[in-house]
Amino acid sequence: MKISGLSRRACLAALFAVSSGGVLAQSNPTKSIRLVVPFPAGGATDILARAVSQKLSERLGQTVVVDNKPGAGGSLGSDLAAKAPPDGYTLLLATTSTHTIGPAVNPRLPYDAFADFIPVGHVGNAPSIMLVPNQAPVHSVKEWISYAKARPGQLNYASSGNGTIVQLTAELFKAQAGLFVVHIPYKGTALAIPDLVSGKIDVLFDSLPSGMPHVRDGRLRALGVTSAKRSPLAPDLPAIAEVLPGYESNTWFGVFGPKGLPSEIVTRVNQAINQTVADPEVREKLARLGIEATEGTPAAFQSLLKTEYDKWRRIIIERKITTD
């Protein structure tokens, strides 16, 4: 049977529609994209997700809906996203705790952070600051290291709990500086602040948003920032790496898709993420959260994940760190 030109074009259009069925707005612009946040509403990761979702929606031409799935330290929501269909309609906003520290400290996670996900886009980094009491007889990172070396086992540091980024940041500092400083875990850094102010605690590596207000109010002294270079979020603070070359500790935030996500979707969403975090309004919102907006390729993000995992796994093994 002879097929008319119109029928041939219709057949080709139908074939293209089937073959590109998972490419987001190309296939179904009315369907929302679910951005899973594996932490409760109101936390830093949730606020970040909501800060970028509107602009990301505009870039993709589809509504991006933030879906909080908290539980088990972020593993519940991460596992849910890992098991979603790889069609681009379910993405995950993950962090250091779910995809580099978590897998290194807890081998019993229900997902494989590398095999079960495709890195899509690096959104930002949140450095910490090194805080000491005002009455501490030191005014720089170099002086604090010398002070601690002269008093092995006599000084202590606070953390937000065993196996957290706060503990690991301090342990990395101790390892590179060759220090013996005692760990005092708290249920959150906010609970440690009064003891730091009074001098019961000697040092705390806290996030910028929660730590800097105490510095501005004159209650604590900040010695340095944990980013590799000086941070635009705290330009007056030297990087600890200026004293300890190579020292770096950030909480990163990034978007992932489930394994099998087609490369064309990864590329398209990555470009939209880069355009979103380059937006001045979004960058300002992230800065208020203590997060430096970051742009880059999926390959660069994948490389970062491997580097971060290896670094924290080495510290966890060397220091025998557990979540118990």
- What are the average pLDDT values for consecutive 10-residue runs of the chain, which has 324 residues? 42 40 52 96 94 96 96 96 97 97 94 97 98 98 98 98 96 98 96 98 96 96 98 96 98 98 97 98 96 97 97 96 89
Domain extent listing, the chain: 28-126+250-318, 127-242
Q: What is the pLDDT of residue 18?
A: 38
Q: How far is CA 26 from CA 34, 238, 276, in A?
A: 17, 47, 20
Taking the alpha carbons of 38, 41, 44, 50 in that order, is the dihedral positive or negative? positive
Which CATH superfamily does the domain covering 28-126+250-318 fall into?
Bordetella uptake gene, domain 1 (3.40.190.150)
pTM greater than 0.75 (yes/no): yes
Q: Are strands 250-258 and 182-185 parallel, antiparallel or unpaired?
A: unpaired
CATH code of the region 127-242 = 3.40.190.10
Give the span between the Cα atoms of 227 and 232, in whole angstroms.
10
> Are 28-126+250-318 and 127-242 equal in CATH topology?
yes
Query: Residue 194 corresponds to which amino acid?
Result: P
78's enclosing H/E stretch is helix 75-82
Task: Spell out a b/e string for 271-308, using b for 16 or more CB atoms within 10 Å of the CB, else e.
Answer: ebbbbbbebeebbebbbebbbbbbbbbbeebeebbeeb
Q: What is the pLDDT of residue 30?
A: 66
Query: Residue 274 corresponds to which amino acid?
Result: N
Q: What is the pLDDT of residue 244?
A: 98
Q: What is the pLDDT of residue 192?
A: 97
14 contact partners, CB below 8 Å, separation of at least 6:
none
CB 187, CB 159: distance < 8 Å: no
Q: What is the pLDDT of residue 324?
A: 81
Q: What is the pLDDT of residue 21?
A: 40
